Structures are given as C-alpha cells and as structure tokens.
Chain A
C-alpha cells in the first residue's frame, strides 16, 4: 500500500474501506468489537432493570417522577440526525469527495457535542435535585448505564476530530478510508444503544 498514491473519483475503489488487507481486518475486527460492546450494554441494561426504583427505605426518587421526556426526546432527535449526517459523510467518502465528507463530519460532531451538552445538563439537573450517583442502587445503575453511553459519545467525538484534523491536509487514501468508515460505524452503534436507552430507561420509566 502506498500512502502517497493520489486517487481520483475514477480510480477510487468501490469499497475503499476494505480495499486493503489492513482494511479488511479492521472491518471484521470492528464488527466483533461491537459484538462485545453489545454484551457489555446488555449486562448494563439487565442490571438497570433489576435495580430500577430500588433504594434505601424511604427513597423518594422513582423513574416515573424523575424523568422528563421533552428534553430526552430532543436529545434523541439530535443523535438520530447525527447518525444520518454521518451517513452523508460516508456517501461522500465513497465518492472520493473529501471536502464534503469533512463538512458532514463537522456537522455530525456538532450534533454529537450538543447531545452531550444536553446530557450533562440533564445529569446536573438531577444531581441538583438530590439524585446523586451514590443516592441509591437505582441512581448508581442509572448513571452507570447512561453515563457509559455518554462516555462512548465523548470517545467517538474525540476520534472523529482526531481523524479530521490529522487528514485535513492530505485527503483520502486507502490507508485512512477504513478509519473514517469505522468511526462512523461506531457512531451508528452508539445511536442504536441510545434508542434502547430511550425506550427502556425513559419511555418505560415514565410509563411505569
């Protein structure tokens, strides 16, 4: 693989992310990593369900009273949109259109950051009301599940930005195409996990 090889949209392979052996390996390896991540989140969800609304006797906080759907709904929409914008970025990646890819990635990062901002606001709000991490088994399980997801979002943002900055000057090649592809795959995964969090934690929480 020659990192200095210049591509044109015509010479650019149909599947740049798996055009090299390294790319193929990363592609398979990353899907396997996502399998492990799924089991990780499954364990967190199971624990959350087991400990939902459980606390010391006299605990005043329950899911039904605590959560407010409008804010969480806005967060959900923002994150879902950011998944869509990362799809656009990958569309331009496959067409070897580096500028448009960077632009859509930029939008993705901004949306991700606003999601994270809202999440921090949400947590701050709960803590302010007295629902801290050490408040009860319920609070520990809640913050750990949702916070682990938040940490994934943070990591994804850092990864996006690192790649965008590192490759800003040199454009796309078959060495960095798999990297862009994987981070957007990761981003979709985070999005799917959030859909489950929205359903299991918030919707089912408010309903009862």
Chain B
C-alpha cells in the first residue's frame, strides 16, 4: 500500500478515517460517536424528566419508562462517558509522553470499532421489538423475567463493546510502559497520563468479570443454562457480585481520567506547578487499589450479614481519604496562583464543590444502617449524578474546550463556552440537589410515576425545570462547535499561552507522526521548563532528524467487529426456533476469526517517512500523510 499518496475528496476522507490507525484520528472518531450517544442519552434523560414533571403523568407508559430509564443509564455510562474519555486519552496521552503513536495502532482501531458496533447493536433494540428494561445494572432476577429481546441486545451489545474497551485498556498500559520519550520517568508523567494509566489498569481487571456475568446472562436467556435460575439450582446473587466487582471500579474508570483533566487545568490556569504532585499520583494509585475492595456497598440490603456489611462499609469510607487529599491539592494549586478564569477553569472550579457534595453523600451511603434508609430512593440518584455529572461530565466539557484547539486547530468561542457553563452548572444543581430531599421524603427510584397526594409535585417540577437549562447549555455548545468550525481561525502550538506539557510544544493539530524528532524530557512540566529557559523551540531532542517508521492503515478492524455484530443477531434470535440463527452465528464468527487469521498471516511492516519529507514539512510545504 503506498503511504504518502495524496488523496482528497469527501469519500477519501471518510475512508481514511474508517481505516485509520492514527491515535489522533481514532480520538476524533471516539469524540463523534461518544458525542452522538451522549445526545441520545440526553434525549432519554429529558423524556424521563418530562414524565416525572407532574404527578400521574402519562407521557410514557410504565413499560416504556423502564426502557427509557435503562437505556439512559447504559448509554451514558458505556457509550457516552467512557468513549468520550477514551477519546481524550487517545488524543492527548501519546503526545504527553512524547510518543509517535500508541503501542498497538491496529488494536486501537479495533477497540474503537468494537465499541461502535456494540453501541449500534444495543440501540437497534429500539427498532427490533423493544429496548432492555431491567436497569443499567440488569439484575438477573428482573432480567430473566423480561420478555422482549431487549435484555439480549443489552447483553450482546455490551459484550462486543466491552471487548473493545478491554483492548484499549491494554493498549494504553503498554503505551505508557514502553513508549515514553527518553527522560520521561514515571514521576515526570503529567497527571492526565497517570490517571489514564491507573484507569486502564482498572479496565484490565474489572471488565473480565462483567464479560463473564453477561456471558452467563446470554447463556441463561438464549441457550438454556441455569446460572441465575433458582428453580434449577442457580443463584441470582452471583450476577450482583460479578456486576459490582466490575461496577465499582467502573465508576473510578470514569472519575480518575476526569481528575487527570482537572489536574492539568488547575496547573495551566493557575500558572503554577501542581501542588503535591507526588501525593496526587499516590492518591490515584490508592483509589484504584481500594476501588476493587468495596463492591458490596451496593449490596448492603441484599442480606450478606453484619460482618460483611461492616467490612465493606469501612473499606468504602477509607476511599474518601485519598479523594480528600486530591481536593486539597487542587485548592492549594489555585492558592497564590495567578488565576485566569477561562472556560476550562470555570468547569474545574465548579467541579470542586459539586464533587465534594457527591462524595459526602457517598460516605453517608457507606454507613450500612443508614443505607437501608437511602437505598433505592432518589437520594441515590442524587448521589451518583453529583459524582458523574458534577465530576465526569464537567470534566468532559472542560476537556472539550481545553483540547479542542490541539485536536482541531481552532479555538471554541469563550463567550459561548461560558454561557454553556453557567446554563449547565445551574441546571445541574437545580435538577439534582432537590432530589436528595425527594429521596429522604421517600420517593423511590426507577418508578414511572407518583401520586398527587404524595407531596412530591413541586420538587419534581423544579427538578425537571433544571433539566431544561442543561439541555439549553448542550445545544449552545453544539452551536459553538459549528460556528468555530465554520470560522476556521487557525491557532498556534500553545493557544492557551500557559501550556506546561509536551502536547503544547507541537503544532495544533500535530502532524501525523507527532514529533519529527523524539523529545528529551528534563523534568515535570517539561515544556514549561524549556519556555522558562528561553528555548524558542520548546523542546530539546533525544535524536537527530531521521526516517520515521509508521504503521499502515487497515480495514480489518471494521471487518472483525462487524463479524461479531452479525454473530450477535444469530445468537439473539436463537431461542425463537428460526432455521437461520445457527448459520448466522457461524458466519459472523467466521468473518471475525477469518480476518484475525488474515491479520496474523499477512505481514504488515508499515512504511517509512523519509527525512527529506520531514524537512519539507517543517518548512511548511504540505506533504499529506494518510
């Protein structure tokens, strides 16, 4: 395959993205599809709030409500929040460590396409007989009784996308272990790279239990096994354990990268080194470690007994300690800094009180006796939205503003950005703060309506009004993206002016090989160090200019993922006694394993960019790679 061939036109660009193994392009794919799923999940959220806007509403039927509520949670966690974070990890982490790409560019593409086909498969349930309706936690006792194919869409879709996530996790780990530029020791890695590292380790160890649990679910529902079927000796609690052994680490897979993003922002916009870098790193590792030892706090009311409950309650409370350490580090980074309140910093400052509130309710729920009161009430809904929206979503919005110039070479409007922030921030607190009280007043979660005599009307109406503000904020953000793209005003290497880490030392967007010469890292905040010493280039180099080896594009990741997508349809309709289901399963698996075999047998040695082309590139002559 010729490497530097010049192609143009819309079709060629699409083909280029579909087959790309470049981490920066894959990042854009994650951002687009994660963004799309975020909008779908958002529309589902609005439907929930419309239904609950007043007592006895009939906007959604009870059954539809369950589907919308389930798909909202599942979409937001698996198809929006996580892919959006994976997108930023892809875009930024290799640049931060001075690498030309991730360790396995091919697998990077495969990870994306698995996620994408899994997400599409899950959402097709809306058109093929009904969406899953047993909650994003899909407890087996509910799920086995669900009659439509919705649960099967959930199980098979998440299996496919879960493989994708696992592959991405391994890829990021190896990238960080092996691909750091000379001098980039572990204790010089930017915080976002550190949190990517720990979150990837959590992905590595947390996704297999989920895959196994879902595997059991698929077999119980479609192939006649009895893992969860009590009448045949099964046990539904096995699902709950496996799910939460995955589920609690999952919330840290989401929040740790968010912590990383905010750490970068606090340092940049306070023009100061992060306070207590070492403490932040160790707090990250500790949180990741403890994250695996607290899963049963989601199961206090199952009846595991007072000993188990006490142990898990204590373990849960301990996690709050490293989290608190981080909060103080961020506050002390701002303290005495020369702070500028650009949009990313607004989000970062708004994040602190919001997340602290979510942490405090978390510790309340960690007290097992109190949790008997709070469990399954709107209090829980308030808690996890404070941590997920107040933490993860604010981080994603902040990162969108912060890294947009690096990814696309244009700057989102600050004015519109601030409007979005205020609308979203006010709307968020309006929606969720009051839900704490609804919970304490006894309103149960996951129930499609309530009576006029229960006294919850006013608070629910306020909550729904808040959701409108959030929706407006998101719409203005979309307008912002469109306007910025149309205006197309190009920016330089370091558009915020105060970048500290390597990604700000190279052009925006970077050339496809990232670094013409591998940089030599001389300390934490390496770009800042060079700037302070008056180095105009912003980097010193670890090697002379020479040929660069790059991987080839490939269409195989799409084919492999598509094979599993096909096989899943066969599996899904298997219990319906249709003649074509087994052949379709076989066909799909043949496509997947066949292309794996092809990948293994066909040598793929990549290509070289020659030194002369690099020099031309640097002199501003455009040589377009693919």
* A21 on the B face (CB < 8 A): yes
Taking a contact as CB atoms under 8 Å apart, the answer to whether B204 and A36 are in contact is: yes
In the complex, chain B residues whose CB is within 8 Å of the CB of A83: none
Interface string of B206-230 (1 = CB under 8 A from A): 0111011101100110011111010
In the complex, chain B residues whose CB is within 8 Å of the CB of A98: none
- Give the shortest distance, in Å, between A18 (CB) and chain B (any CB): 10
Taking a contact as CB atoms under 8 Å apart, the answer to whether A134 and B226 are in contact is: yes
Q: Which of the 9-residue segments B38-46, B166-174, B261-269, B364-372 touches chain A? A: B166-174
In the complex, chain B residues whose CB is within 8 Å of the CB of A162: 597, 600-601
Q: Which of the 9-residue segments A26-34, A105-113, A118-126 touches chain B? A: A26-34
Among B104, B166, B173, B225, the most chain A Cβ lie within 10 Å of the Cβ of B225
- The 8 Å CB contact of B233, one of A24, A29, A59, A163, is A59
* A19 on the B face (CB < 8 A): no
- The 8 Å CB contact of A137, one of B233, B600, B601, is B233
- Give the shortest distance, in Å, between A97 (CB) and chain B (any CB): 23
* A25 on the B face (CB < 8 A): yes
* A87 on the B face (CB < 8 A): no
In the complex, chain B residues whose CB is within 8 Å of the CB of A55: 232-233
* B603 on the A face (CB < 8 A): yes
In the complex, chain B residues whose CB is within 8 Å of the CB of A88: none
* Cα distance, A59 to B232, chains bound together (Å): 9
- The 8 Å CB contact of A47, one of B171, B208, B216, B224, is B216
Q: Known A51-B235, A136-B233, A162-B597; judge A43-B242 contact (CB<8 A).
A: yes
Q: Which A residue sits closest to B549, measured CB to CB?
A: A1
Interface string of A146-189 (1 = CB under 8 A from B): 00000000000011001100100000000100010000000000
Size bin of chain A's contact surface = 35 or more
Taking a contact as CB atoms under 8 Å apart, the answer to whether A40 and B605 are in contact is: no
In the complex, chain B residues whose CB is within 8 Å of the CB of A159: 600
Taking a contact as CB atoms under 8 Å apart, the answer to whether B605 and A51 are in contact is: no
Taking a contact as CB atoms under 8 Å apart, the answer to whether A134 and B225 are in contact is: yes
Taking a contact as CB atoms under 8 Å apart, the answer to whether A29 and B171 are in contact is: yes
Interface string of A44-87 (1 = CB under 8 A from B): 10010011001110010000000000000000000000000000
Q: Known A29-B103, A136-B226; judge A36-B233 contact (CB<8 A).
A: no
Taking a contact as CB atoms under 8 Å apart, the answer to whether A175 and B104 are in contact is: no
Taking a contact as CB atoms under 8 Å apart, the answer to whether A40 and B208 are in contact is: yes
In the complex, chain A residues whose CB is within 8 Å of the CB of B205: 35-36, 39
Among B103, B179, B205, B232, the most chain A Cβ lie within 10 Å of the Cβ of B232
* Cα distance, A25 to B180, chains bound together (Å): 12
* B532 on the A face (CB < 8 A): no
* Cα distance, A144 to B597, chains bound together (Å): 25
Q: Which B residue sits closest to A38, measured CB to CB?
A: B208
Q: Known A39-B205, A43-B242, A55-B232; judge A28-B177 contact (CB<8 A).
A: yes
In the complex, chain B residues whose CB is within 8 Å of the CB of A24: 178
In the complex, chain B residues whose CB is within 8 Å of the CB of A158: 597
In the complex, chain A residues whose CB is within 8 Å of the CB of B229: 137
Taking a contact as CB atoms under 8 Å apart, the answer to whether A51 and B227 are in contact is: yes
Taking a contact as CB atoms under 8 Å apart, the answer to whether A54 and B208 are in contact is: no
- Give the shortest distance, in Å, between A174 (CB) and chain B (any CB): 12
* B238 on the A face (CB < 8 A): yes
Taking a contact as CB atoms under 8 Å apart, the answer to whether A47 and B227 are in contact is: yes
In the complex, chain A residues whose CB is within 8 Å of the CB of B179: 25
In the complex, chain B residues whose CB is within 8 Å of the CB of A175: 603, 605
* A133 on the B face (CB < 8 A): yes
Taking a contact as CB atoms under 8 Å apart, the answer to whether A40 and B235 are in contact is: no
Taking a contact as CB atoms under 8 Å apart, the answer to whether B212 and A36 are in contact is: no
Taking a contact as CB atoms under 8 Å apart, the answer to whether B208 and A43 are in contact is: yes
In the complex, chain B residues whose CB is within 8 Å of the CB of A3: 603, 605
Taking a contact as CB atoms under 8 Å apart, the answer to whether B226 and A39 are in contact is: no
28 contacts between A and B (CB under 8 A): A1-B605, A21-B178, A25-B104, A25-B179, A28-B173, A29-B170, A29-B174, A32-B174, A32-B204, A35-B205, A36-B205, A40-B211, A43-B209, A43-B212, A43-B242, A43-B245, A47-B212, A50-B238, A51-B233, A55-B232, A55-B233, A137-B229, A139-B226, A140-B225, A140-B234, A162-B600, A162-B601, A166-B601
- 3 closest residue pairs by CB, A with B: A54-B233, A137-B233, A140-B225
